[in-house]
């Protein structure tokens, strides 16, 4: 894998010659036409094409090999932050996107009530699981398609786009009928068939970090999605497993800074799963904003004690509303903002 940086004055013909050469050798080509110059990513086995030969072709300024195992996800490949819209908002730019809602869709009334409360508190995107990856097969598994229908109704009412988990490739088309953003859960981070399917869907993807995954493994999973031409990938740090037991997981705040440095992709923080206890969610959320997260995903439930999953880590709407105000102040202190 290498990137070919063309001279500012390179012609279309010169660019096409590089592309044709790479494609003839069986490579995939990724073209990015910047304001100043064009960059051509040549993706595939480095042994077939010779870097020096490409460097001698007309119009080429230089050729840079990408040494990291993740290529399309790397800053070497794309220096500028990836920015894309989510509903009326934009992720990856100066604003911070707030996603909120219950762990699971439990009923029509519950998701609509929660969606309205989250919207009033300042959320931009509605979360809610219809297909739940539960540790126990006897625990509530989610409402399935009925839950997706209620999410779509909540979107009608509030105008918020929906993020919801998809657990298997066969269900990608169904989830895409209702959702705006596909969530890959921590337990499925390395489900390659699923990464392939969501990559092909071309829907925005929220990729959770596996609970025992290296940052590099997480970025390699983003690479799978990107390799199908889907550029709208968000990385989500949701806590990792350590020896500590007072919290459900250990929030890896380092991962936010590391992922932002290694990759151009937006990074979202999930302080709910990262801590597992509502008392700590606000602290972790505020730290994530300060650390440079581009988005937040937070579990909110109007009556956490009645929740069918993750009640212990869900904020009541009033607490969530206060947290959004606090996060906004922190965002502004670090040159960002949370817009209404
Ligand atoms: C969830 O978002 O409710 C969830 C199951 O998250 P994770 O995959 O991070 O455990
Ligand atoms: Mn949950």
| 202-229 mean pLDDT | 97
pLDDT for 211? 98
Looking at domain 2-65, its CATH class is alpha beta
Q: Which of 130, 185, 247, 300 to mutate to test the pocket of ligand 1 (most atoms within 8 A of CB)?
A: 185
Burial of 321 (0-12, 13-18, 19+ CB in 10 A): middle
| Averaged pLDDT, 297-326 | 98
Domain ranges of the chain: 2-65, 84-333
pLDDT of residue 19: 95
How far is ligand 1, taken at its centre, from the CA of residue 126, in Å?
A: 14
- Indicate which residue's Cα is closest to atom 10 of ligand 1: 186
Per-residue confidence (pLDDT) for residue 312, from 0 to 100: 98
Do residues 234 and 295 make contact, with C-beta atoms less than 8 angstroms apart? yes
Interatomic CA distance for residues 145 and 65, integer angstroms: 46
State the DSSP string of 105-141: ---HHHHHHHHHHHHHHT-SEEE-BSS---SSTTS--
pLDDT at site 77? 87
What is the structure's pLDDT at 44?
81
Provide the CATH topology of domain 84-333. Answer: TIM Barrel (3.20.20)
Ligand that lies nearest to the alpha carbon of residue 134, given by its number in the listed order = 1
28-48 pLDDT, tens digit per residue, is 898 888 778 888 999 887 677
**Model pLDDT for residues 281-301, shown as the tens digit of each residue:** 999 999 999 999 999 999 999
In sequence order, what are the beta bridge partners of 162?
126
Higher pLDDT, 30 or 114: 114
Lowest-confidence segment of 10-24, 35-49, 57-71 by average pLDDT:
35-49
Q: What is the pLDDT of residue 220?
A: 98
How far is Cα 225 from Cα 200, in angstroms, rounded to an integer?
8
β-pair type (89-91, 84-86): antiparallel
- The pLDDT score that the predictor gives to residue 217 is 98
Cα distance between residue 289 and residue 291, in whole Å: 5
Q: How far is the CA of 41 from the centre of ligand 2 (A)?
A: 38
pLDDT, averaged across the chain = 96
Query: Is the model's pLDDT at 2 over the cut of 80?
Result: yes
Q: Quote the pLDDT of residue 67.
A: 87
Segment 327-336, tens digit of pLDDT: 999 999 999 9
pLDDT band (50, 70, 90) for residue 1: confident
pLDDT at 36: 80
Q: Which ligand is nearest to the CA of 237?
A: 1
Q: Which ligand is nearest to the CA of 239?
A: 1
**Dihedral sign of CA atoms 166, 171, 172, 174 in order:** negative
pLDDT tens for 163-200 read: 999 999 999 999 999 999 999 999 999 999 999 999 99
The total of other beta-carbon atoms located within 10 Å of residue 340's CB is 7
Q: For residue 8, give both structure tokens.
A: 């500012």
Q: Tell me how crowded residue 178 is: count the other CB atoms within 10 A of its CB.
A: 18
The pLDDT-based confidence of 325 (bands split at 50, 70, 90) is very high
The proportion of the chain whose per-residue pLDDT surpasses 70, expressed as a percent, equals 100
Mean pLDDT for 197-226 is 98
| Helix-helix angle 215-226:253-262, to 10 degrees | 50
Which of 136, 165, 235 should be mutated for ligand 1, with most atoms under 8 A from CB? 165
Q: Which atom of ligand 1 is nearest to the CA of 187?
A: 8
What pLDDT, on the 0 to 100 scale, is given for residue 45?
75
State residue 80's pLDDT score: 93
pTM recorded for the entire structure: 0.93
> Residues 72, 41: contact at Cβ < 8 Å?
yes
Residue 140: exposure state from Cβ atoms within 10 A (0-12, 13-18, ≥19): middle
List all residues 6 or more positions away from 53 whose beta carbon is below 8 Å from its beta carbon.
none
Compute, in angstroms, the gap from residue 81 CA to the centroid of ligand 1: 26
For the CA of 309, the closest atom of ligand 1 is 3
Backbone angles phi, psi at 288, to 5 degrees: -65, -40
Q: For residue 173, what pLDDT is reported?
A: 98
No. of H helices and E strands in the chain? 11, 14
């Amino acid at each position: 894998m290498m990137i070919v940086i063309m001279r500012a004055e390179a012609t279309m013909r010169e660019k096409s010659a590089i592309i044709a050469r790479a494609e003839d050798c069986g490579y995939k080509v990724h073209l990015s036409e910047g304001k100043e110059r064009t960059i051509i990513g040549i993706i595939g086995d480095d042994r077939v094409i010779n870097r020096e030969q490409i460097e001698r072709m007309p119009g080429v300024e230089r050729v840079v090999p990408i040494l990291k195992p993740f290529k399309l996800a790397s800053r070497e490949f794309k220096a500028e932050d990836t920015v894309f819209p989510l509903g009326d908002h934009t992720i990856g730019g100066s604003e911070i996107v707030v996603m909120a809602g219950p762990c699971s869709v439990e009923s029509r009334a519950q998701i609509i009530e929660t969606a309205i409360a989250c919207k009033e508190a300042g959320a931009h995107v509605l979360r809610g699981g219809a297909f739940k990856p539960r540790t126990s097969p006897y625990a509530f598994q989610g409402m399935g398609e009925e839950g997706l229908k209620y999410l779509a109704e909540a979107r009608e009412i509030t105008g918020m786009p929906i993020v919801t988990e998809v657990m298997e490739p066969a269900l990608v088309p169904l989830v895409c009928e209702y959702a705006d953003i596909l969530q890959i859960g921590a337990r499925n981070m390395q489900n390659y068939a699923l990464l392939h399917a969501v990559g092909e869907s071309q829907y925005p993807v929220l990729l959770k970090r596996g609970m025992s995954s290296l940052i590099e493994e997480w970025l390699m999973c983003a690479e799978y999605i990107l390799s199908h031409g889907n550029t709208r990938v968000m990385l989500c740090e949701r806590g990792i497993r350590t020896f500590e037991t007072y919290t459900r997981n250990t929030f890896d705040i380092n991962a936010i800074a590391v992922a932002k440095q290694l990759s151009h992709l937006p990074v979202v923080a999930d302080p709910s799963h990262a801590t597992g206890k509502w008392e700590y969610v606000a602290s972790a959320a505020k730290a994530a904003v300060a650390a440079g997260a581009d988005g937040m995903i937070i579990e909110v439930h109007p009556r956490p004690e009645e929740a069918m999953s993750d009640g212990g880590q869900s904020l009541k709407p009033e607490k969530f509303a206060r947290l959004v105000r606090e996060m906004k102040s922190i965002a502004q202190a670090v040159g960002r903002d949370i817009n209404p």
